[in-house]
Chain A
Amino acid sequence: MKRWTPIMALFVVVALILTACPSPTPEVKVVKETVIVEKEVVKEVQVGQPIHIVARCKAAPPHEEGRCNNLVSAVGAANAALAEKGDDRRIELEIIQDNADWGDYKTEFELASDAGQAPDIVCSGHEHIGDWGPAGYLVDVTAMLGDYTEFDDVIDALWASTEWNGKRWGVPQDAEARPMFYNKTLLAELGWSDADIESLPDRIMSGEFTWEDMFDTAEEAVKAGVVKEGNGWWHRPKNGGDFLYYYYTAGGEIVGDGDALIFDKAAALKVYEKLYAAVDRGILSDTRLDGDWTGWHTGITDGDVLFAFGGSWNWAEWFSNYVADRGGQDYLWEHFGFAAIPGMANGTGKPTTLTHPLIYMISSASEHPDLALLLISKASVKELNTDYAIASGHLGILKSQAEYGPYMSAKFLTQVLPLLDVTTFLPNSPHWSAWSNGYYEGIQAAESGFSAEDALDLAVDYLQNELGENVVIR
């Protein structure tokens, strides 16, 4: 009996919890811009032969969940289109959506593809086409795209991000810009006038305010005690596409005539010098690459950091998850501003940013690629994509959104849009991952106290060992 007592107690506790449980409403309050998006509601047609389609998306909850949820919303329209054509197949969609680590996400798709069990649709970064296209994991959709008029509306420049080997391997799902965020309150504390603060984006665009000016301002803020040492400027806390635009603005090129990628030593050296100096001058902490995203978001939104290189989607992430109880977007507009990444005066001198579209791709394991593409086409309409763009802080992918009321009335999106004038992309190359890791070795070294020259040597060694003939060191 004695043994049963704790068990009975546990059951009682569990039973009490079960009966007292509230419905699973997320605690996080989602604050969206008040924009009414009119969506066409298509009644789902469920007569016919059901075809099971699986879609896999990575999305930060709750604001990015439109990635897969838009496919769910498109099922009705897709089935209606099938019915209209006299096709008796009907799509039954299963979505798998979480916010897994990109590395785990990629590995999962690769293992599933090798086992012939990959989801029909995978939404992933465009640079993965460079790995998955040559590996035979994806369907070449070049010839199929013409069958769906919805794709005529996709912004022409974005198609480049879906291409490898002269063919198209998917459809853009979103786009973004990666701006420099600045804390207006801290700049004011430093003595900047309202006019100085408001004109910063324009001064960056004109090349008047450079990367070097940003560092000088950050150092001044640290010395004046406006921010703590190491909080003058933050970049992302782990490797990612952002670091490539440092290299671009330092004058580097990555894509050449052949398949091999280029590593420009002079440009990389400038980047490593800048990062070494940032740590040395107390602007950047030598532990900034700690991999902690939550700490990164919290530090910035709590007003501890003067300048931060982030992504447009951070805006939605912050008002949804970090400052929702402080006023959401209003709080962000009051305390933060954003602009293009300043140009390096000793590099190109031109401002820059980077766009990293996510792409809906179709797995070569899919038995119904036509249905998968039909579903994607119905999710790539201005109503659904605008809803996602507003909620997630990403840019639209369609030409028609430029004249679509709900999209244009979203203040953040319209203000980010001009950054696309100075945007760049990652390369779609099977060698990009290794190139990025090699370049990042140097970044880690420079921020850990290695001289820029030593950091460069480490990067070059890594690239030569990993890529051999597939990299041109110059």
Chain B
Amino acid sequence: MTTATFESGSQSGVKRFLGRTLPYVLLVLSISPIVLGYAWLIIATFSYRTEGLFPIDAAGNIGGWTLSNWSFLTDPAIWRVTLNSFVLAVGMVIGVGFVSSMAAYSLSRMNFAGRKGFLSLTLLLHAFPSVTLLIAIFFVLNFLSKIPAIGAWFGYNTLGGVALVMISLDLPLGIWLMKGFFDNLSWDMERAALIDGASRFRVWWEIIIPLIKPGLAALAIFNFLSGWSAFLIPFTFTVGSKVANLPVYMRQMISDTAPTNWNMIAAVGMFQLIPVLIFFIFTQEMLLSVYAGGSKGGT
């Protein structure tokens, strides 16, 4: 009897131990490729070449640390493309945030003809990968290019044009996200303000927007990341490095025939990652609120 008790106690101890450790083991195993990938990225940026995670010199021995991969920082073009990336990312934050919050408010709070159809179409638009729209987008940008004054800012081969396209492509997601936040807000304060004579716009701006700040912040993060890492649209609709952004700059470093300095490309990748990391450190809680399915009005 005693033996049996000991055995069952031992079994439950093993079970408890396994129950506690197994998830951690599985988690470590599943994230290790990503962690190793980032580890390689950091090591590669400071080495001439790598073998696995070890930096090696020309003779194949471990060693050969260098800062030469970061020499691209002295290339004036890198700062121009970084600025372009920043302008594009900020443009998307402002453009998508502003338009989606207004559109989502009206879709959430007002009843008008075609509302449901519009919502369905918006969702449908989001289903199109941007690569399928490239030709159509080109015709739009080409058309814009020919309009005096506007063409110089929002036409083909302009940062404004790229931002315009990126904003349009990200709007469906933005509208639906924001609509979710508006739907979760109570009508009470809004109704009280309307009864007190406030206009719809004033209600939106002074009452609703402060309540959905976490939602706006989360959307801003999404759009910043989307604009910061945009490749296809800037690559297709720009010529040369004047209006290129960081991912396009990185693509230009990859040669068709000559050997590519992958360690320098890793350094550019690392450089591109820094603002994203900073952004993430400040905003991870807000980002998680979106993944968790919306906010309760920021209270």
Chain A residues within 8 Å of B, Cβ to Cβ: 3, 6-7, 10, 14, 17-18, 20-25, 27-28, 56, 58, 60-61, 96, 98-102, 104, 107-108, 111-112, 114-117, 119, 293-294, 297, 317, 321-322, 325
Contact = CB atoms under 8 A, between A and B. Distances in A.
B74 A60 contact: no
Contact of A56 (B71, B74, B240, B259): B240
B281 interface: yes
Interface string B250-280: 0010011111110000000000001001100
B24 interface: no
Contacts of B255: 60-61, 99
Contacts of B73: 17-18, 21
A24 B71 contact: yes
Contact of A111 (B58, B75, B138, B260): B138
Contacts of A101: 256
B274 A14 contact: yes
B252 A111 contact: no
Nearest to B46: A17
A188 B185 CA distance: 83
A21 B74 CA distance: 8
Interface of B: 48, 58, 67-68, 70-75, 138, 141-142, 145-146, 155-157, 235-237, 239-241, 252, 255-261, 274, 277-278, 281-282
B257 A60 contact: yes
9 contacts: A6-B277, A6-B281, A18-B70, A22-B67, A23-B71, A56-B239, A60-B258, A112-B239, A297-B257
A8 to B, nearest CB: 11
A119 B239 contact: yes
A17 B70 contact: yes
Nearest to A16: B67
A200 B48 CA distance: 40
Contact of B157 (A100, A102, A115, A297): A115
Contacts of B74: 21, 23-24
Given A60-B258, A96-B240, A114 B142 contact: yes
Nearest to A116: B145
Nearest to B72: A24
Nearest to B241: A96
A71 to B, nearest CB: 15
A10 B273 CA distance: 11
A293 B281 contact: no
Nearest to B238: A108
Nearest to B157: A117
Given A27-B261, A321-B258, A111 B71 contact: no
A24 B75 contact: yes
A358 to B, nearest CB: 14
Contacts of A25: 71
Contacts of B256: 58, 60, 99-102, 293
Contacts of A100: 252, 256
Contacts of A20: 67, 70
A56 B71 CA distance: 25
A117 B158 CA distance: 11
Contacts of B67: 17, 20-22
Contacts of A115: 138, 141-142, 145, 155-157
A317 B260 CA distance: 13
Contacts of B282: 3
A322 B48 CA distance: 16
Contacts of A117: 145, 156-157, 239
A310 to B, nearest CB: 11
A115 B252 CA distance: 22
Contact of B156 (A10, A27, A112): A112
A58 B58 CA distance: 30
A56 B240 CA distance: 8
Given A10-B277, A22-B67, A99 B157 contact: no
A96 to B, nearest CB: 4
B68 A27 contact: yes
Nearest to A97: B240
Given A24-B72, A119-B239, 17 more contacts: A6-B277, A10-B278, A17-B67, A17-B70, A21-B73, A22-B71, A23-B74, A58-B256, A60-B256, A61-B255, A107-B236, A112-B156, A112-B239, A114-B138, A115-B157, A293-B256, A293-B257
A362 B236 CA distance: 22
Contact of A22 (B68, B146, B257, B261): B68
Nearest to B258: A60
Contact of A317 (B72, B145, B258): B258
Contacts of A317: 257-258
B49 to A, nearest CB: 10
A390 B88 CA distance: 43
Chain A CB within 10 Å — which of B142, B258, B259, B261 has the most?
Answer: B258
Nearest to B261: A27
Contact of A297 (B68, B237, B259): B259
Contacts of B274: 10, 14
B71 A99 contact: no
Nearest to B277: A10
A325 B259 CA distance: 14
Chain B CB within 10 Å — which of A56, A58, A60, A115 has the most?
Answer: A115
A3 B281 contact: yes
Contacts of A18: 70, 73
Contacts of A61: 255, 258
A38 B73 CA distance: 35
Contacts of A24: 71-72, 74-75
A325 B281 contact: no
Contact of A96 (B58, B72, B239, B260): B239
Contacts of A6: 277, 281
A451 to B, nearest CB: 33
A436 B108 CA distance: 55
B145 to A, nearest CB: 5
A133 B237 CA distance: 22
A53 to B, nearest CB: 14
Contacts of A293: 256-257
B239 A108 contact: yes
Contacts of B156: 111-112, 115, 117
Contacts of A23: 71, 74
Nearest to A101: B256
A98 B255 CA distance: 8
Nearest to B267: A17
B71 A21 contact: yes
Nearest to B274: A10
Report the 10 A-B pairs with minimum CB-CB distance, sorted nearest first: A96-B240, A115-B156, A99-B255, A24-B71, A60-B258, A17-B70, A98-B252, A293-B257, A115-B142, A20-B67
